[in-house]
Structure 1
Amino acid sequence: MEFVSEYFWFFLCVPLAAVAGWVIGRRGGQRHGDNQVSRLSSTYFRGLNYLLNEQPDKAIELFLHIAELDKETFETQVALGHLFRRRGEVDRAIRLHQGLVNRTDLSDPQRVQALLALGEDYMKSGLLDRAETVFSELAQIDQRAPQALKHLIGIYQAERDWEKAIDNALRFEEVTGEPMGKLVGQFECELAERHRGAGNVEQARAAIARAYQADAMSVRAGIIEGRLETDAGNAEAAVRAFERAARNDPEYLPEVLQPLMQNYRKVGDLGGARSFLSEMTEHYRGIAPVLALTRLMEEQEGVAPARAYLGRQLKDRPSVRGESALIDLTLAEGADPTATLHDLKHITDQLLVRNPAYRCTRCGFGARTHHWQCPSCKEWGTVKPLLNYAVL
C-alpha cells in the first residue's frame, strides 16, 4: 500500500507541477511583479512538497491560499479536488471544493463548476441531502441543468422519492430532448406497487395508467395491473393485462404465465388459453408456452397426444425442463420404465435446482428470483427469465 501511495502522489504532482509552472510562467510573461511571482512559485511548490510527503491537509491550506491570490489557479484547485475524490479522500475533496465555493470573486461559470464538483463530492460520501441542495441550485442554471438534473434523478432513486424522480426526469427530457419515457414508466410502476401494497387500488390504477402513458410498451405496468385485477377478483381484466405484458415483450412470458393460466381457468376460457399459447410459441423461443400447452392437452386429450406434441417441439427447442416433462409423460403413459429414464429424471431435476432462473441482459447477473432493477449493474428492466425457465 505504501508503494502504491507513493506512486499515486508522484503521478498526481507531475501534472500539477506542470500546470503550476505554466500559470506562474504565464504570469511572469505578463510582467507581474517579481515578488508576487516568486511568492506564488514558492507557495505552490511548498504545497507539492506537502503532497509528496503525505501531508495533504497542509497542501490544501496552501492551495486554497494560492487560489485567493491568483484566480487563474482555479482549474487546478478543482482538478486537485477531483483527484482526492477518486482516491477515496472525499472529506478533503469537500474541503477543497467548499473553499472554492465560498470565494466571492468567482465568475458565474466558475461558481457553477465549483458547485458541481462539491455536489459530486457529497454524492460520493453519501450526503444525499447536501447533494440535493447543491444540485437543486444548479438545476436553475441552464448551462448545467442536464448534469444537475441527472444527479437529482439518481438521488431521488436512492431515496425512493418517486414523485420527485419523475418530475426531474420529465424536466431532463424537456431540457435535453432525450427520451425518458421508459425510466418514468418504471418510476410510475414503483408508485403503483406502493399504492397496491397499501391497499389504495384506485391510486395504483392511476399510476399504472400514467406508466402506460410514459411507456406504452411497459411490461411491468401490465404485470402490476394483472396482479392488481387478480386481487380485485377481475379475472377477465387480469387476463387482458397479463396478455398485454407478454405481447409487449414475449421474453417475460414465464413471469406472467402462472397467474395468466389461473385467471383463464377462473374465466373458464381454456380455448382462449390454448389460442394465446399457440400464438406465443411463434414469438417466443423458450419452453414455457410449450409446457403450458402440453399440460392443457394432457388434461383435455390425454397423455399420448400431449407426449407426442412435446416430443415434436423439443426437436426444435431442446430444453432440460422439456426433457423432464417428457420423462414424466413417458412414465405416466405406462411405457416400460427403465433405470435410465429414472436416472435421467434425477439428473435433470438436480440441474434445474442449481441453474439461475433469471439473467441480466446487460451485465450477465444471474438470480433465482426476479429483480426489476439489476442488483449488479443497477440497470432497470434488464433482468429477464431465461429461455428454458417456466413456472407452472
Structure 2
Amino acid sequence: MQELVWLLLPVAAASGWWMARRSAARDCNESDRRTTPAYFRGLNYLLNEEPDKAIDVFVQLLEVDSETVETHLALGSLFRRRGEVERAIRIHQNLIARPALSQEQRAQALLELGMDYMRAGLYDRAENLFLELKEMKLHVRKALENLLIIYQQEKDWQSCLQTAEELESLVKEPLSLARSHYFCELAEEALRKGNTEDAGRLLKKAISADASGVRPLHMQARIAMSRGDCKASNKLLQKAVEKDVRYLPEVLADFMECHRRQSSLPQLQKYLQGFLGNGMDVAVALAIVDIITETDNETAAREFLGDQMRQHPTLKGLLRLIELNANLPDLQAGQMLVSMKSHVEQLLAERPAYQCAKCGFAANTLHWQCPSCRSWSTIRRKSEPEDKHS
C-alpha cells in the first residue's frame, strides 16, 4: 500500500498545480470553492488507503489538455508495470473518451490501452487497437511488434508471416529466422493432418527464408524416413549437424532408427565417435553405448562407458553405468548399484535439461520459441559442467 501512495502522490501534486494555475488564470472565487474540496477529498481517499476512489478524483481534476495528457499516460503506464492492469485500463479508456485529444495523443493512448489489454490477456481487443494504429499510420512499428506477439501467442502462423513481412521493411533488419520457424509451424500443422506434400513445400520455404536453420532439415529427414527413404533421411540429418553441431543430441534417435533399418549401426558408431569429447553432450556417448550393446555385448559397452566416465564424468553417464553394472551376478554389488540409481534418477529429474541462451529460461523439453523472451532457436540442451567430478 505504501508503494501505491508514493505512486499517486505525484498525481495529487500535479492536480494541485493544475488547479493553482487555473485559479490564477481565472479570477473566480466561486470556481476555487468548487474545485478545492475535490482536491482535498482525493488526498483524503489516498491517506485512508482507498486508491480507487483517489484515482477517480484525480483523473476528473486533471482535465485532458495538451499539458495533462502526459500525466495520464505516465500514470497508466506505471500501473501496468506494477501489474495493476485494471487501473491502467480505466485511466487509458478515460483518456481516449475525451474529445480534446489531438490525433497523435489519441494514437499514443490507443497504443498504451492495447498494451494494457495484452497484459490482461485480452488479445482480441488489443489486436483491434493495434490494427487501428496501423491504419492511422501512427506508431506502426510498435503496433506491428505487438501484433506479432499476439499472433505467436495464438499460433496464427499465417498472420505472423504477413506481419513479419510488413515489420521487416520498417526495422531495416531481417526477420528470416522467425519466418523460417513460422513456415515450420505451418508444416507441423500440415503433417498432423497427414498432408506431407504441403509440409514439404512449406519446409522448402523455411529453408529459403533462413538457409542456416536445422529445424526444416530435421523435419524433411523425418518425412523421408516415413516414406522409407533412410538414405535421404540420413543425409539430411548429417546436413543438419553440419550446420549446428549442438543439435546432434536431438537427431540421435532418428540417426539410430535410420541405421538400424539399414543394418549399418557400426557405421553410425564410427561417425559418432568423431564427436566425443570437446564438451559434446553425454547423449552421444550413451548412443554409442546402445550401439555397442546391440552389435556386441554389455561387457564391451560397460568398458567403453567406464572409460568415458573416467575422462568426462556426468550424472547421466553414471546412471547408465549403474544400469549396466546392475546386471552383474554379484547380488550385493547389484543392490548397492540399484540404490545409487534411484538417487541419481532423483537428481536428474530435478534438473532442467534445456536452457535459453538469451534469457536463461529453463525447461525439461525443447521449445523452438522461448516462452519467456519469445526468441527463436535460443533454447539448447544444457551441458553438464556442474555435474563433472575431479
Checking the alignment, whether the CA contact within 8 Å between 2:79 and 2:87 is kept in structure 1 is yes
- Give, as a single letter, the amino acid of the residue that structure 2 aligns with 1:385: R
1:132 aligned partner: 127
Structure 1 residues not aligned, in runs of 5+:
none
Q: Does 1:340 align with 2:340?
A: no
Q: Does 1:372 align with 2:368?
A: yes
1:165 aligned partner: 160
Q: Within 5 A, what are the aligned runs for 1:1-392?
A: 4=1, 7-24=2-19, 32-35=25-28, 38=32, 43-53=38-48, 54=50, 56-57=52-53, 59-60=55-56, 63-64=59-60, 66-68=62-64, 70-86=65-81, 88-140=83-135, 144-281=139-276, 285-300=280-295, 305-326=300-321, 337=330, 339-340=332-333, 342-348=335-341, 350-352=343-345, 354-356=347-349, 358-361=353-356, 362-363=359-360, 365-367=362-364, 369-374=365-370, 380-387=376-383
Q: What is the SS of the residue equivalent to 2:234?
A: helix
Q: What is the SS of the residue equivalent to 1:67?
A: coil
Q: Deviations over 1:237-281 (max 9, x none)?
A: 322333333343333333221121111222344354134312332
Q: CA deviation at 1:182?
A: 2.7
- Give, as a single letter, the amino acid of the residue that structure 2 aligns with 1:35: C
Partner Cα separation in structure 1 for residue 192 and residue 118 of structure 2: 30
- Give, as a single letter, the amino acid of the residue that structure 1 aligns with 2:143: A
Checking the alignment, whether the CA contact within 8 Å between 1:235 and 1:267 is kept in structure 2 is yes
Structure 2 vs 1, CA of residues 237 and 65 (structure 1 numbering), >3 Å: closer, same or farther?
Answer: farther
Q: What is the SS of the residue equivalent to 1:160?
A: coil
- Give, as a single letter, the amino acid of the residue that structure 2 aligns with 1:363: G
Q: CA deviation at 1:200?
A: 1.3
TM-score (norm 1): 0.81
Checking the alignment, whether the CA contact within 8 Å between 2:217 and 2:237 is kept in structure 1 is yes
Q: Deviations over 1:37-63 (max 9, x none)?
A: 846666555444444452635743662
Q: What is the SS of the residue equivalent to 1:347?
A: helix
Q: What is the SS of the residue equivalent to 1:262?
A: helix
| Paired-residue identity, % | 36
Checking the alignment, whether the CA contact within 8 Å between 1:112 and 1:138 is kept in structure 2 is yes
2:387 aligned partner: none
Structure 2 residues not aligned, in runs of 5+:
385-390
Structure 2 vs 1, CA of residues 141 and 260 (structure 1 numbering), >3 Å: closer, same or farther?
Answer: farther
Q: CA deviation at 1:152?
A: 0.8
Partner Cα separation in structure 2 for residue 137 and residue 17 of structure 1: 33
Q: Deviations over 1:218-238 (max 9, x none)?
A: 333333333332223222232
TM-score (norm 2): 0.81
Q: CA deviation at 1:331?
A: 7.3
Q: What is the SS of the residue equivalent to 1:322?
A: helix
Q: Which has the higher contact order (CA 8 A, sep 6+)?
A: 1
User: Does 313-322 or 369-378 show the bigger shift?
Assistant: 369-378
Q: Deviations over 1:300-355 (max 9, x none)?
A: 455565444333322221133434444565677x8x74633552254135523551
Partner Cα separation in structure 1 for residue 324 and residue 116 of structure 2: 62
Partner Cα separation in structure 2 for residue 371 and residue 60 of structure 1: 44
Structure 2 vs 1, CA of residues 22 and 232 (structure 1 numbering), >3 Å: closer, same or farther?
Answer: farther
Q: What is the SS of the residue equivalent to 1:281?
A: coil
Aligned residues: 377
- Give, as a single letter, the amino acid of the residue that structure 1 aligns with 2:314: S
Cα RMSD after superposing both structures: 3.4
User: Does 74-83 or 108-117 show the bigger shift?
Assistant: 74-83
Q: CA deviation at 1:156?
A: 0.9
Structure 2 vs 1, CA of residues 183 and 44 (structure 1 numbering), >3 Å: closer, same or farther?
Answer: farther
